[in-house]
Structure 1
Amino acid sequence: MDILPHYFKDQGELLDIIDGLRSQGLNSYISLPQLVVCGDQSAGKSSVLEGISGVAFPTKDNLCTRFATEVVLRRDAENRVHVTILPDGDRTDEEKEELRSFKAPTSSLEDLPGLLEMAKDRMGLNRDGKAFSKDILRIEPSGPDQPHLTLVDLPGLIHAESKQQSTQDVDLVASLVRDYIANPRSIVLAVVSAKNDYAVQIVTRFTREVDPRGLRTLGIITKPDTLHFGSDSEAAYLSLARNEDVQFRLGWHVLRNRDFDTRHLSRGERDEAERKFFSSGVWQTLPLHSLGVESLRPRLSTVLKEQIISELPALIRDIESGLVDARDRLDHLGDSRRTTHEQRLYLIRISEAFSSLLSSANNGTYGRDFFGDARTEIGFKKRLRAVIQDLLLEFAQTMQMN
């Protein structure tokens, strides 16, 4: 397994292979390694993504939390973003074609809110009262400051129905999140907000259900600046960050993201404000590798790379097994009939074979395999002349008796 990384030029190439498999819909058939971001509504997931990527994801009207969002970050010489839609497998062929035709390349990240609104409309979220979609929005920001990283952001878990969110919406989001985090090859990034007791946040229960031993979960604590200095809540979250309370193999990470008052800070200013916050108070007692977005970016890149490399041999076996199964099913279907001429010839052959079979039955020549053994009930019933003769005898006997 140690030699596997040497087959790839860099981590970006390794991630591109997995992303290519996912974009072809292979994740509907086999589990693919991925980082999955989940948390309760208003836990700060969008701010986490913004901190990692530097892209200001709109949070108005829950725009980015109405569907799964695949964020593909790649380092490149130029800043640009590409937005596409990966249709849900249950969509009709016509709907899939319409959604796949949505391609919105742009060189400006400032265009992202408008592009997301267009994508939401294409998914049908602006009509028929539909609040959530199982389609996947794929956002590909690239630039010189981007890490090589791919994450899947999921809609926030809903505590209770409201005027804007029905019981069906609550269940749909819960089902969507469970499906993603239940994937044994997924690394779960469980985002919890320090504004609320972590024990009552839905995401903690969901992660325990799918990963009871905490082997593939990394916890992320947001909004630590809302905790009062010296309070029991601060002490509880400090213990959590030290991996003393809820223990994960990958540990915990603490982020201080922009709030309403600091929403206009640049990426550099945001990172500097975060560094200043963690340099004082109880948070300075934590190791630097578990604080701030600057250490989170390489940490996530390493986690994802190691997960892909460890799962790659089993993934290759799954793909090879799937290919064998697909080829067997294709062989069972017979030769392809793509043109109208080929389809007509196929139907003519069926018609001729059926006509020949009827002729054999009518003539009483039962040499074909179709007729089987006359000593069996099924074989006897396929001998047309014998069946007709029996029916005539039965009819004659009935007429004589009546």
Structure 2
Amino acid sequence: MPQLAVVGSQSAGKSSVLETIVGRDFLPRGSGIVTRRPLVLQLIHTPVSDPPKDFEEWGQFLHIDKRYTDFNEIRREIEQETFRVAGQNKGISKLPIHLRIYSPNVLDLTLVDLPGLTKIPVGDQPSDIERQIRSLVIDYISKPNCVILAVSAANVDLANSEALKLARSVDPQGRRTIGVLTKLDLMDAGTNALDILTGRVYPLKLGFIGVVNRSQADINNEKPLSEALDAEQEFFRNHAAYRNIAHKNGTRYLTKTLNQVLMNHIRDKLPDMKARLNTLMGQAQQELNSFGDSAIYGDKNQQGALVLRLMTQFARDFVASIEGTSVDISTKELSGGARIYYIFNDVFGTALTSIDATHNLDNQDIRTAIRNSTGPRPSLFVPEIAFDLLVKPQIKLLESPSLRCVELVYEELVKICHNCTSSELARFPRLHAQLVEVVSELLRERLGPTTDYTQSLIDIQTAYINTNHPAFISGSAAAAQSMTSTPKPAAPRHKSIEHHSASIESLNGTSQTEDDESTEEPFPNGRAVPERTRHGATSAPPIPVPSSGASSHRHHSTHHHGSRHASGTSVVGGSGSSPQSGTAKETFLNYFFGQNGPGPLQGATAERGAGGPIVTGRDISGADPSLEAGLMAGRRSMDSNAAYDMKSLGKHIEAASDGSSHLTMREEMETNLIRSLIQSYFNIVRQTIQDLVPKAIMHLLVNNTSQQVQNRLVAALYKPELFGELLNEDEALVAERTRVKALLDAYRDAFKTLSEVTLKST
């Protein structure tokens, strides 16, 4: 609201001017700085009562609910309130003191008495007292709605007036500044301030007004203000220089002028003020509406309708956050369903992809597993039990990230639940807490089945190792191709060497390939040999029998195209050797059955290979005599070999037990094959888990909760006996509603006052 700010230097007579306007002594007096806090003085004109009352004039402070009829008590209260805030020293404070004076002898005015301007600190004043006072004064007079009452002493050169200097800094045109000259009676004889009062020295739009206040002797003698006003008027009428302008000077004229200036200023600012008040009232009303109406607390039906509406809105917000249809969608970070997708795609997917299927398996572990799975029997091919034994723990590596994925989605749903708080629901913290608790309990109920099902997905994969999976066949074929130690012969083939069926037959231990589509006919001695290959090759020659003195078995065979293929699990994809290879390692029998000793040939069965017949699975008692003689020669050679001495044998057993022995060529190839098979099957299971776990979480946890949340809320909380407790409002919110309501009432009163002023001015 527009107001009048009284500005002037210390001892310029500001307090005397205010007291003369009010017609009462009520301001503290003394030497030095006395006014140390702004005093907002609101004068309210009251009609004269009929019959007259004993006390028609009184004062009232805003900081204390008390009516003061003794103006001396008002002075003491001002002093005590100043000491309470500004302290006992001469420091100042920006916190104002509000005082209203009701009297039939005053006009409606609002004046602000500010601390007097000073230059240097005196006594125990702060060293920056000048800066503090100037900052305080500028805060008030810089407002466009403030009319500046610049008080200057007439016995001091006007060029040194600090009040006019500050007023000019904020009002250069002098449109809202009124000059007041005090102490006209104290000017030197022969001098006067006529040029200043007539505006010829320092022009102001609102002009200068001269006043004569009581002297210190009059104050000490408690001269009544009514007599002081009469003496002032007599001074101007009898003064030779001022008699012509006596009607435009004096305290009474100053009061009327201030009232008229204030009213005109209000009238000029009325449109802006009314528009501003309309805006403030609208904002306050909207804020008050956000707090809700407190009139519903006595009606159970209204309470039930409110609780049901808030529960429904909470459930809708929860589902909308998950589905991404919420109104308040953040553009700064992922939230709601987007974070769930991020967990599925980035967090969970990256965790599974980062798992190496065989990072925790070294060659010794794989070799030990192969050996342990065969027991006391030698293995002709890689045992499937070893593969199952090794691949199941690797599949278990997927369990931890899968269960963690369930936990992350659960935590995100709980976070979504806590964030579903509307402004209306924030009024009722207990209701909101109960809503969150019910939904959290529902999520906890669904967490158990979801975790169990996710666990069962891993258990299902370890329960049955499906080596017939098409992707596993393809992966095994690729592994078999990669394990080939020598290139394939350049002989023409009618079908692709990467055909799945050929590869799986090689991995399963059968030696029939796609190139061998011939039929088998039994020999008279019981051995099965191929009748004829598809390319027209005749039966391969029989296995040559080594001589009795040979230290190794040698095996030479001839292929129709000039190359030989040995088929078996341990030789993945086959390894070719030229007929000229004469070492033990390069021969087929020495590779599988060892350089020394009888090997597993005695219990072997005849199996048809890509290059010729191999004796497997039949007793050789009725076989070729030359072959039997060769085997007996080998046995005699073993008996005389020192490597099979019992002491040396014990050393070999200890070395094999601690796993420190080096891998043989066959063991190395078997190890690499098992490793590639584990990798292939692990990739199949990983893809399955990566697909099924998010689906299970969405079905069992997310979608199930979204479908049941509203029904669960209604069943748990829609009970009439709980309405009163659930709808208890926050104490801070109740206090805020009271404050906003009082502010709205004040805005309405101010708007009503402005409307009355508008009517009076028109």
Fold-level match, TM-score > 0.5? yes
Q: Tell me how far 1:396 sits from its aligned partner.
A: 2.8
Q: Secondary structure at the match of 1:396?
A: coil
What is the distance in 2 between the residues matched to 1:173 and 1:35? 18
How far apart are the structure 2 equivalents of 1:330 and 1:397?
61
- Counterparts in 2 of 1:104 and 1:116: CA distance versus 1, 3 Å: farther
Alignment partners' CA distance in 2, 1:287 and 1:41: 28
Cα drift, residue 54 of structure 1: 1.2
Alpha-carbon distance in 2 for matches of 1:398, 1:282: 115
Match of 1:216 among 156, 176, 181: 176
Q: Indicate the larger mover: 207-216 or 105-114.
A: 105-114
Matched letter for residue 29 of structure 2: T
Q: Report what 1:284 is aligned to.
A: 242
From 39, 42, 51, the equivalent of 1:72 is 42
Equivalent of 1:387 in 346, 359, 364: 346
Structure-1 residue corresponding to 2:199: 243
Distance 2:30 2:66 in 1: 21
Would the aligned equivalents of 1:288 and 1:295 in 2 still touch at CA under 8 Å?
Answer: no
Cα displacement (A) at 1:398 = 12
> In the superposition, relative to structure 1, how do residues 378 and 254 fare at CA in structure 2: closer, same or farther (>3 Å)?
same
Among candidates 145, 156, 162, match of residue 202 of structure 1 = 162
Q: CA deviation at 1:222?
A: 0.7
Using the TM superposition, give the Cα deviation of residue 223 of structure 1 relative to its aligned residue in structure 2, in angstroms.
1.0
The residue number in structure 1 matching 2:276 is 318
Matched length? 335
Partner of 2:647: none
Shift of 1:269: 1.6
What residue identity is the alignment partner of 1:310?
D
Show the counterpart of 2:119: 159
Whether the 8 Å contact between 2:33 and 2:115 is mirrored in structure 1 is no
Residue type at the aligned position of 1:213: Q
1:182 and 1:397, CA in 2 relative to 1: closer, same or farther beyond 3 A?
Answer: farther
- Corresponding residue for residue 29 of structure 1: none
Partner of residue 80, structure 2 = 118
Aligned counterpart in structure 2 of residue 254 of structure 1, from 210, 215, 221: 210
For residue 151 of structure 2, what is the aligned residue in structure 1? 191
Is residue 2:279 matched to residue 1:308?
no
The AA in structure 2 aligned to 1:60 is G
Contact persistence 1:289–1:296 (CA under 8 A): no
The question of whether the paired residues in 2 share the 8 Å contact of 1:219 and 1:248 is answered with yes
1:294 aligns with 2:265: no
**Displacement of 1:299:** 1.6
Once the two structures are superposed, residues 210-266 of structure 1 have per-residue CA deviations (whole angstroms, 9 ceiling, x without a partner) of 1111111110011112211224xx3xx332111112111110100110121221211
Change (3 A) 1:385 1:325: same
| Residue of structure 1 in register with 2:68 after alignment | 106
Structure whose alpha-carbon radius of gyration is higher: 2
Deviations 1:76-117 (A, max 9, x none): 4343322314xxxxxxxxxxxxxx4x2331222232222223
User: Shift in Å at residue 59 of structure 1?
Assistant: 1.3
In the alignment, the residues of structure 1 paired with residue 119 and residue 295 of structure 2 have an alpha-carbon distance, to the nearest angstrom, of 51
Residue identity opposite 2:267 in structure 1: I
Show the counterpart of 1:26: none
Output the CA distance in 2 between the equivalents of 1:147 and 1:371: 56
Distance in 1, matches of 2:327 and 2:157, equals 74
Correspondent of 1:58 among 25, 28, 49: 28
The CA deviation at 1:175 is: 1.9
Change (3 A) 1:111 1:353: same
Q: What is the CA distance between 1:292 and its match in structure 2?
A: 0.9
1:396 has 2:355 as partner: yes
Deviation at 1:400, TM superposition (A): 5.7
**Alpha-carbon offset, residue 187 of structure 1:** 1.2
Q: Which amino acid aligns with 2:38?
A: A
5+ residue gaps, structure 1, are: 1-31, 86-99
With a CA cutoff of 8 Å and minimum separation of 6, indicate the structure with the bigger relative contact order: 1
Q: Determine what percentage of the aligned residue pairs are the same residue.
A: 26
Amino acid at match of 2:37: F
1:89-104 mapped onto 2 (5 Å cutoff): 100=63, 102-104=64-66
| Cα shift at 1:161 | 2.6
Closer, same or farther: CA 113–330 of 1 in aligned 2, 3 Å: closer
Match of 1:88 in 2: none
Residue 50 of structure 1 deviates from its aligned partner by 1.0
1:389: how far off? 2.0
2:233 alignment partner, one of 272, 275, 297:
275
What amino acid maps onto 1:52 in structure 2?
A: I
CA distance in 1, matches of 2:347, 2:240: 96
Q: CA deviation at 1:150?
A: 2.3
Conserved? CA contact 2:152–2:163, under 8 Å = yes
Does the C-alpha gap of structure 1 residues 398 and 50 become closer, same or farther in structure 2, counting only changes over 3 Å? farther
For residues 276 and 289 of structure 1, do their structure 2 counterparts lie closer, same or farther at Cα, with a shift above 3 Å needed?
A: closer
**Aligned residue identity for 1:262:** D
- Equivalent residue number for residue 58 of structure 2: 81
Contact 1:104-1:115 within 8 A present in 2 as well: no
Match of 1:95 in 2: none
Q: Indicate the SS of the match to 2:4.
A: strand
For structure 2, the 5+ residue unaligned runs are 49-54, 297-302, 361-762
Contact 2:180 2:210 (8 Å CA) reproduced: yes
Q: Give the drift of 1:131.
A: 2.3
TM-score w.r.t. length of structure 2: 0.39
Q: Which residue of 2 aligns with 1:36?
A: 5
The answer as to whether partners of 1:161 and 1:167 remain within 8 angstroms in 2 is yes
Write the distance in 2 (CA, Å) between the matches of 1:224 and 1:111: 31
Q: Distance in 2 between matches of 1:109 and 1:54?
A: 11
- Please give the per-residue CA displacement for 1:329-379, whole angstroms capped at 9, x wherever unaligned: 667x6758999xx9xx9xx97xx879968xx99xxxx52347999xx9958
Which structure features the higher share of strand residues?
A: 1
Amino acid aligned to 2:66: A
Name the aligned partner's letter for residue 387 of structure 1: D
Aligned-residue offset at 1:198: 2.3
Secondary structure, counterpart of 2:242 in structure 1: helix
2:224 to 266, 291, 299: 266
One-letter code of the match for 2:112?
V
Change (3 A) 1:325 1:377: closer
For 1:382 and 1:289, the matched residues in 2 are separated by 85
Distance 1:130 1:377, change over 3 A: same
Find the aligned partners of 1:323 and 1:400 in 2 and give their Cα distance.
71
